[in-house]
Amino acid sequence: MPGEVKDECGVAAVYLPQKPDNYPLGGSAFYLYNMLLQMQNRGQLSAGITTFNEKRQQLIDTFKKVGTVNETFAVKIRPKAQSIMRKFSGSKGIGHVRYSTFGGDDRGSAQPFERHHGRKWKWFSFAFNGNIANFSELKAELEKKQYHLVRNLDTELILHFLEKEQVGEKETPMDKAFSRLAHKFDGAYNIVYINAEGTLAAMRDPLGNRPLCYSASDEFVGAASESVALANIVSNGIKPIKPGEMLIVENDSVEVRKYAESKKIAHCMFEWVYFSNAASTIEGKSVYQVRWNLGAELARQEKLETTGGDWVVVPVPDTAKPAADAYAHELGLPAMEGLIRNRYVGRTFIESNDRLAKIKEKFNVNKSVLDGKKVIIVDDSIVRGTTSKALIDYMREKGKAKEIHMRISCPPVRSPCFYGIDMSTIGELIANRHSSQEQLERTGFIDLEQETVDKIASDIGVDSLQYMTLAGLVKSIGISKNELCMACLTGEYPTPWGQALRVKAMERFGRGLETARTYE
């Protein structure tokens, strides 16, 4: 559901092997801008890049701002945008788009994080996508050694541990440094890294929780969180960086190396269901096709009698549209845009806790589609339910629908995420607010009792509600359930700290202490 759940960010890395004259103004900065723009879905809070230029006094230099990619790079002011490209022109670079699940919303919390040093190999910058689940333990370890975290960010924590790997008189090879860190970090952490010697790396954590892919040729080498960032740049194929692997550019040689063993693979199922751009491919699976499969599966599970001419299927724009189209196609029903998204609203200066006001800012109800109809609205997920309720109220108020039935292409979200999705407490999840204590304490997937589903339906104001089954989700993605992270659905976490944090979350919920994210 738009506005209910967010991923943390997206990362990118670029190496241009040929002479600067062979590339557009800005070189790596130009390509990073374009790659980040294609991944704007992964974060709209801030954007930034660090580029390397051996002819520049500032060998690596970082540019970042709060705002969207186009706001950051000032594309509406052509001379200013060109000035940014000139200043940050380079042959290599890394980039980041951010949505905050941890820390502040100011420029200082934006990524990349750069660490200055007199020695070139100790002067580095990095950005990451994910969440360090054992943040509190590692923070305590640093504090015992008189470290101080100014911003209380896991990004800041990673910075200090990377710094510790570069002590002494000799540079630590990248694969060895990250191998040691893999034994320290619990969670999800795709990292892009560059130093003032021009060493560039893009690494994927041993779980492979978040997507990361690359493409390499004699003209262009790039890595990104999503394939859509590379698709319009390269023509020689895009491959996934496997869990525990890193793409490294060192002394102008390009190599993919194994740096850590993968004891378990746990790809986040939400990447296919909601987060990723529909044009992306993850682990060889088309995001669009998976969403289409989910819609078709929902239709096969449908219990409503949908004969007659007064039924219409409406997607919640934009991520649920493939599922809605497939659902309608399977049942022979019309799929129509009963909700029109305002794609030009961008950021506003208005901050409001009024969920309905935010819905009206983002969507327009198309009354000509809804008036007097039995509406089946298809969405990808219900997390907290507040946005769903406001949207349904808006459709009833303005659309004058006769009935509204909701179909969700993801099973009920029952547990927090500690790997980079902004839902980390038990009580915020609508499925838990209507579940028994016994249901809350159980791990392993359980179908919600019909009574519970009916309570959720009543809460958000729909005539009926139906979720995707777990088996249908796994079938639609086409990857073994043993290689998917579905902890938010099952309560079974792929790492020890994930399991420990769920226990902590349950304790906090039971004592009424859910005032902050569980991992803080």
Residues making up the annotated binding site for [4Fe-4S] cluster are 268, 417, 485, 488
Q: Which of 2, 4, 8, 9 is catalytic?
A: 9
Rounded Cα distance between 422 and 517, Å, is 9
Contacts of residue 273, defined as CB under 8 A and 6 or more positions apart, other chains included, come to 290, 291, 294, 380, 381, 409, 410, 473
Compute the Cα dihedral for 68, 72, 76, 82 and give only its sign. negative
Q: Are 230 and 174 in contact (CB under 8 A)?
A: no
Three-state secondary structure along 242-295?
Answer: CCCEEEEEECCEEEEEECCCCCCCCEECHHHHHHCCCCCEECCEEHHHHHHHHH
The residues that bridge with 114 in the sheet, in sequence order, are 125
Rounded Cα distance between 44 and 348, Å, is 12
The CA-based angle 404-405-409, given to 5 degrees, is 135
Name the DSSP class of 414.
-
Rounded Cα distance between 280 and 443, Å, is 32
Rounded Cα distance between 229 and 34, Å, is 7
Rounded Cα distance between 111 and 32, Å, is 13
Buried b (16+ CB within 10 A) or exposed e, 168-195: eeebbebbebbbebbebbbbbbbbbbbb
Q: To 10 degrees, what angle do helices 154-164 and 174-184 make?
A: 130
Q: What residue numbers does the annotated binding site for Mg(2+) cover?
A: 319, 379-380
Helix (H) or strand (E) holding 158: helix 154-164
Rounded Cα distance between 196 and 515, Å, is 42
Compute the Cα dihedral for 175, 176, 179, 184 and give only its sign. negative
Q: Are 414 and 479 in contact (CB under 8 A)?
A: no
Structure tokens at 496: 């020890």
Q: What residue numbers does the annotated binding site cover?
A: 268, 319, 379-380, 417, 485, 488
Q: Is 410 one of the catalytic residues?
A: no
Q: Please give the positions annotated as active site.
A: 9
